[in-house]
């Protein structure tokens, strides 16, 4: 049985007090749990880009592709 919630894909997100509930304005930092790497973000788009970057790094490190990816 494979772990559907792998630690390599776990993140902690901390929002500043300037972040709106709607996330139309969002800033803070995100930390990748496995690597301990952290980056700051100034928008929802930057937060999502950070996730994509960390996940791409994890994919490159393992050399594995999930089913359906090329």
Q: Quote the pLDDT of residue 70.
A: 33
pLDDT category of residue 67 using cuts at 50, 70 and 90: very low
The answer to whether 70 and 21 are in contact (CB under 8 A) is no
pLDDT tens digit sequence for 40-65: 999 999 999 999 999 998 777 666 54
Strands (DSSP E) found in the chain: 11-15, 28-32, 38-41
pLDDT > 80? residue 21: yes
The DSSP code for 16 is: -
The yes-or-no verdict on residue 31 having pLDDT over 90 is yes
Give the pLDDT of residue 66. Answer: 46
Q: Whole-model pTM? A: 0.77
Distance CA 44, CA 28 (A): 10
């Amino acid at each position: 049985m494979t772990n559907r919630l792998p630690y390599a894909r776990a993140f902690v997100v901390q929002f500043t007090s300037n972040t709106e509930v709607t996330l139309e304005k969002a800033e803070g930092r995100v930390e990748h749990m496995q690597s301990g790497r952290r980056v700051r973000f100034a928008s929802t788009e930057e937060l999502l880009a950070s996730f994509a970057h960390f996940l791409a790094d994890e994919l490159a490190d393992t050399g594995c592709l999930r089913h359906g990816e090329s």
